[in-house]
């Protein structure tokens, strides 16, 4: 096929063009001089001859030449890269031939096709993997590139899953020494070899933030004060100096995912704003309170458009959270979380079921995966639900305006939740015995069947859910692929089953609120699921009744011989996750964002989670209730005389005096012996 160079503009979407993107290797051919001239004329650096291993390609789309790209040997020594990989000097020297540098990338200035650049980068790596091994006899393990931040944001590299490691020192090699060349650039890398990744486990968390004094200054300008937040969370034994130091130790681990000082400043301002006593925690009031004047536009761009590794930051957050609260008896939870929204230009907004009552109104719907144990609780993952209509031609303009990823495809809420739960389980970060879900998922038998095996489910259900009262005196039937189960005459609502059941209510102590102990009643009843209008499996129906008479119902597939106090353990962890959502809404600003883009929403949820995690660290170490009041998760039950009652104590609390921030923040790992543990909040 013949290709032509034409300056006729190419615009629109990548999908508007039928032909595939191709790469023409020009090294040693008549086209090499044409490649050199094209780069000399249209790349801001011009053409520079490269000595050593190299590959040059012309990039084509349909019958048009649209750009050029080249690769060469990697830099001899890079501090950021070598820390990221984590190898020693001897290993670096032996494996350096397997590292490649993307030294030039050009899309011609009249080619303005959306998402083309990131698509080309992804395809070029497949071509590189084949040709580099063919011509030089070594497999490329990782590719690096340098970008001048004054000229480019690196958006196409970030979209192609490259990782920004930070700024170079601007040193170039001359002979056996390195001298400053006047150009500080952003370093991006991408790992191509799974074997290389599994051997060295490259991780941006190895890139420690060296200017600790600068970070401390940013945190203390202006000084942090959270009197209402600390009081409401029972944290009143911490000095302002210790509070600032604790925040520094908490945020330091996340700084390498940001890079430039401006982004670090915006990150700290956002966290301080979410933790503050501001009545509204959207971008504008936070910017006015914690940013320099006239910085609002840059602050907003930080949340929506700026290039920083939010994906890597979330992975590090999950790692830190798991070390802090993971426990063999813990629970992974899945909940829907909806946000009322006026207008129609925010990502995923639509007239759809909103809130626990399912009322139809304009909102954004999301899926949240959390974790709870006797050590605490927190949000672990979050995804914005994009309704199916947003993937139609009618919503194409809104889809692009909200920067929804092109590769995102429609999935139902159940499909999304199932994927999220499996992803968290397979990560191996969060141990546990239980998985809990809200009633939107709990009333779907097929969804319950699809949950990760080996975990006991505790699934909220509405009181209107139909089931069969279990009775050992009735005959049994067996449907295909189901266990033997009682066969009642007709199903009734679980609310009716509870009302007609004569099992005695037990009292459960949920915790100590401002007005004293918070009590409820609960009981467990065996029921038989309704499956396709037929009896299914026998499971436990758990019901908790509050002081005002309201009830919460759940199905649990705990063993048939389980006692009430055993099933109460997951019930209280589900209750604690509801407190987690309430805390994030009431104190951290979970629902107070004013961000229209998909990335903006994701970043707000991430920073909200990091902020809540900080409060939990403070509460564990400084809560005045530690040792003096029972934790919410300490379950007490009482029955009439003649019945035995066992305690299901999820938390052991010991009092600790003193003002020692380092104990809870330098190492967010498993608790050392003697550290106070408080996992759940006082109920209101």
User: pTM for this structure?
Assistant: 0.70
pLDDT block averages, 10 residues each, the chain of length 684: 88 88 95 95 90 94 95 91 88 94 96 93 95 95 92 86 81 59 82 88 67 82 80 83 91 86 92 93 94 92 89 91 94 94 90 80 94 94 96 92 91 95 93 94 93 94 92 45 54 94 89 72 93 90 93 94 92 90 92 93 97 93 51 34 29 29 30 27 30
Burial class of 244 by CB neighbour count within 10 A (0 to 12, 13 to 18, 19+)? middle
- Unique residue bearing structure tokens 């159940």: 414
* pLDDT value at residue 664: 34
Asked if 460 and 552 touch (Cβ cutoff 8 Å), the reply is yes
Contacts of 666 (CB under 8 A, 6+ apart): 249
* pLDDT value at residue 51: 83
Task: Report the distance separating Cα 540 and Cα 525, nearest Å.
Answer: 6
Q: Structure tokens of 368? A: 């949240």
Contacts of 453 (CB under 8 A, 6+ apart): none
Task: Report the distance separating Cα 547 and Cα 520, nearest Å.
Answer: 6
Looking only at the bridges linking them, the beta strands covering 186-191 and 142-147 are antiparallel
Task: Report the distance separating Cα 531 and Cα 479, nearest Å.
Answer: 9
Task: Report the distance separating Cα 57 and Cα 71, nearest Å.
Answer: 9
* pLDDT value at residue 652: 24
* pLDDT value at residue 185: 87
Asked if 612 and 378 touch (Cβ cutoff 8 Å), the reply is yes
* pLDDT value at residue 584: 94
Task: Report the distance separating Cα 39 and Cα 68, nearest Å.
Answer: 7
Asked if 325 and 436 touch (Cβ cutoff 8 Å), the reply is no
Both ends of the chain: CA-CA distance in Å? 73
Q: Which of 356, 435, 348 is nearest to 383 (CA)?
A: 348
Contacts of 372 (CB under 8 A, 6+ apart): 325, 330, 331, 333, 573, 574, 576, 577, 580, 679
Q: Output the CA torsion sign for 459, 460, 466, 471.
A: positive
* pLDDT value at residue 222: 80
Asked if 12 and 114 touch (Cβ cutoff 8 Å), the reply is yes
Task: Report the distance separating Cα 319 and Cα 50, nearest Å.
Answer: 42
Asked if 105 and 121 touch (Cβ cutoff 8 Å), the reply is yes
Q: Which of 104, 17, 2, 93 is nearest to 56 (CA)?
A: 104
* pLDDT value at residue 15: 86
Task: Report the distance separating Cα 21 and Cα 28, nearest Å.
Answer: 22
Residues in the chain: 684
């Amino acid at each position: 096929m013949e290709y032509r160079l034409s300056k006729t503009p190419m615009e629109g979407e990548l999908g508007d063009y039928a032909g595939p993107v191709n790469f023409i290797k020009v090294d040693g051919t008549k086209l090499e001089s044409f490649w050199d001239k094209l780069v000399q004329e249209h790349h801001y650096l011009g053409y520079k001859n490269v000595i050593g291993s190299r590959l040059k390609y012309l990039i084509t789309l349909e019958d048009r030449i649209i750009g050029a790209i080249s690769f060469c040997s990697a830099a001899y020594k890079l501090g950021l890269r070598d820390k990221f990989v984590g190898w020693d000097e001897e290993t670096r020297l032996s494996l350096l031939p397997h590292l490649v540098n993307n030294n030039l990338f050009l899309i011609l200035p009249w080619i303005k096709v959306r998402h083309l650049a990131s698509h080309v980068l992804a395809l070029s790596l497949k071509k590189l993997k084949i040709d580099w091994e063919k011509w030089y006899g070594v497999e490329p393990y990782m590719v690096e590139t340098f970008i001048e931040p004054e000229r480019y944001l690196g958006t196409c590299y970030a979209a192609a899953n490259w990782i920004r490691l930070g700024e170079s020192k601007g040193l170039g090699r001359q002979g056996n020494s390195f001298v400053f060349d006047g150009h500080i650039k952003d370093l991006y890398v991408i790992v191509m070899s799974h074997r290389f990744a599994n051997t060295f486990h490259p991780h941006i968390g190895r890139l420690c933030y060296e200017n600790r004094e600068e970070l401390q200054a940013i945190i203390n300008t202006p000084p942090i004060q959270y009197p209402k937040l600390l009081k409401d969370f029972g944290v009143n034994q911490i000095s302002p100096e210790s509070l600032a130091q604790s925040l520094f130790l908490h945020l330091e681990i996340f700084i390498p995912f940001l890079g430039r000082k401006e982004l670090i400043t915006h990150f700290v301002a956002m966290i301080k704003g979410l933790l503050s006593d501001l009545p509204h925690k959207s971008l504008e009031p936070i910017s006015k309170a914690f940013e320099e004047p006239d910085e609002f536009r840059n602050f907003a761009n930080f949340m929506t458009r700026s290039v920083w590794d939010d994906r890597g930051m979330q992975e590090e957050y999950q790692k830190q959270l798991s070390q802090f609260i993971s426990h063999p008896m813990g629970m992974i939870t899945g909940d829907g979380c909806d946000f009322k929204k006026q207008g129609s230009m925010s990502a995923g907004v639509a007239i759809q079921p909103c809130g626990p009552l399912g009322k139809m109104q304009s909102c954004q719907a999301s899926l949240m995966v959390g974790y709870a144990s006797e050590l605490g609780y927190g949000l672990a993952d979050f995804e914005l639900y994009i309704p199916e209509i947003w993937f139609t031609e009618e919503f194409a303009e809104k889809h692009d305006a909200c920067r929804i990823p092109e590769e995102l495809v429609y999935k139902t809420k159940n499909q999304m939740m199932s994927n999220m739960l499996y992803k968290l389980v397979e990560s191996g970060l969060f141990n546990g015995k239980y998985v809990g879900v809200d009633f939107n998922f709990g009333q779907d038998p097929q969804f319950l069947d699809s949950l990760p095996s080996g975990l006991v489910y505790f699934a909220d259900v509405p009181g209107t859910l139909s089931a069969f009262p279990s009775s050992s005196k009735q005959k049994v039937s067996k449907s295909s692929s189901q266990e033997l189960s009682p066969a009642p005459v007709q199903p009734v609502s679980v609310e009716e089953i509870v009302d007609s059941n004569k099992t005695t209510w037990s009292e459960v102590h949920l915790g100590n609120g401002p007005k004293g102990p918070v009590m409820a009643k609960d009981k467990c009843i065996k029921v038989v699921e309704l499956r396709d209008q037929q009896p299914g499996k026998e499971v436990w129906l758990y019901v908790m009744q509050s002081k005002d008479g309201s009830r919460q119902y759940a199905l649990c597939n705990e063993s048939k011989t389980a006692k009430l106090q055993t099933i109460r353990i997951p019930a209280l962890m589900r209750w604690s996750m509801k407190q987690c959502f309430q805390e994030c809404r009431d104190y951290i600003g979970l629902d107070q964002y004013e961000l229209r883009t998909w990335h903006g929403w994701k970043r707000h949820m991430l920073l909200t989670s990091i902020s809540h995690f900080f409060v939990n660290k403070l509460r564990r170490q400084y809560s005045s209730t530690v040792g003096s009041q029972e934790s919410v998760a300490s379950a007490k039950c009482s029955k009439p005389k003649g019945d035995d009652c066992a305690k299901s104590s999820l938390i052991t609390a010991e009092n600790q005096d003193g003002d020692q921030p380092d104990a809870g923040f330098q190492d967010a790992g498993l608790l050392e012996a003697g550290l106070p543990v408080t996992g759940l909040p006082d109920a209101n």
